[in-house]
Amino acid sequence: MRERSPGASRTQNLETPRAAGMAGIVFAILLAAAIVLARLGLPEGAGGSTVELDSGQRASVNTAVELVPFAGIAFLWFMGAVRAHTGDAEDRFVATVFLGSGLVFVACLFGSAAAAGTVLSAHQPQDFGRLFAYELLTTYGMRMAAVFVFATSTIGRKLGAFPRALSLAGLAAGLILLVVGSSVPWSELVFPAWALLVSGYILRSARRARDRPARATP
């Protein structure tokens, strides 16, 4: 049986968070694009079922609905990247909140996309589909996102996995999502922006860890 060298094993361990960290960037881009397209195609202030969607609005909504499943998949990989970065010493209570809020957020995201997709079945969208999509995303989904941000920032701060500035940025982002996420339009974009920052830091840390053994080798 062929044995792998310690160097190969160490490299493989470092590649996992690096690849998953890229998924976090993909998630941030896809979610931001889906939110922008959905808001352009279905403005909250539109007249509900009395307004007929034009071809451009329908295309925006359809594209947003198609992007959401891939954003959800990338988010699951992003969760894995965060856990790989923080290590095995995380607090079980906070880790449970981290996993639970992340999974509920994905469920809310998928449900919101499904509700938004119902408006494409008629020339004049019904109020229920439009209102339910925004209610599920902004009231429930963004509050679960806030809990996820709080849990991630707490884990990163306690274990020293995140710098102080990144932890404070997470707390600020969580407060915005929790307090004004359902009342201020476009505030949900704070979540993908935060995910982009975290993913960038994880990738940077993985690159440094990968270069450190190479520098130590004579």
How does pLDDT run across 132-174, given as a tens digit for each residue? 888 999 999 999 999 999 999 998 888 888 899 999 999 999 9
CA distance 80 to 87: 11
Structural tokens at position 54: 């034009």
Residue 71 region by backbone torsions, left for phi larger than 0, else alpha for psi between -120 and 50, else beta:
alpha
Q: Please report whether residue 60 resides in a domain.
A: yes
Q: So what's the pLDDT on residue 213?
A: 56
Tell me which long-range contacts 56-62 makes (C-beta under 8 A, separation of at least 24). 58/120, 61/37, 61/116, 61/117, 61/119, 61/120, 62/117, 62/120
Q: Please report whether residue 37 resides in a domain.
A: yes
Q: Please report whether residue 166 resides in a domain.
A: yes
The domain tally of the chain equals 1
Q: Please report whether residue 94 resides in a domain.
A: yes
Q: Please report whether residue 3 resides in a domain.
A: no
How does pLDDT run across 114-138, given as a tens digit for each residue? 988 887 776 555 677 778 888 999 9
Average pLDDT rounded to a whole number, residues 86-92: 72
Which residue intervals of the chain are DSSP H helices?
6-41, 55-86, 92-117, 127-134, 142-159, 164-180, 190-216
Q: Please report whether residue 46 resides in a domain.
A: yes
pTM listed for this prediction: 0.82
Q: Please report whether residue 55 resides in a domain.
A: yes
Is the confidence at residue 26, as pLDDT, over 90?
Answer: yes
CA distance 167 to 155: 9
Is the confidence at residue 68, as pLDDT, over 70?
Answer: yes
Nearest to 57 by CA among 109, 131, 110, 123: 123
Nearest to 174 by CA among 205, 202, 204, 195: 195
CA distance 167 to 153: 5
Which residue intervals of 42-54 are DSSP H helices?
none
Structural tokens at position 118: 């119902």
CA 22 to chain centre: 12
Which residue intervals of 42-91 are DSSP H helices?
55-86
Q: Please report whether residue 7 resides in a domain.
A: no
207 pLDDT band, cuts 50/70/90, is confident
User: Going by C-beta distance under 8 Å and a sequence separation of 6 or more, which residues neighbour residue 166?
Assistant: 153, 156, 197, 198, 201
Q: So what's the pLDDT on residue 50?
A: 53
**In the block, residue with structure tokens 């990989």:** 77
Domain around 154? 13-216
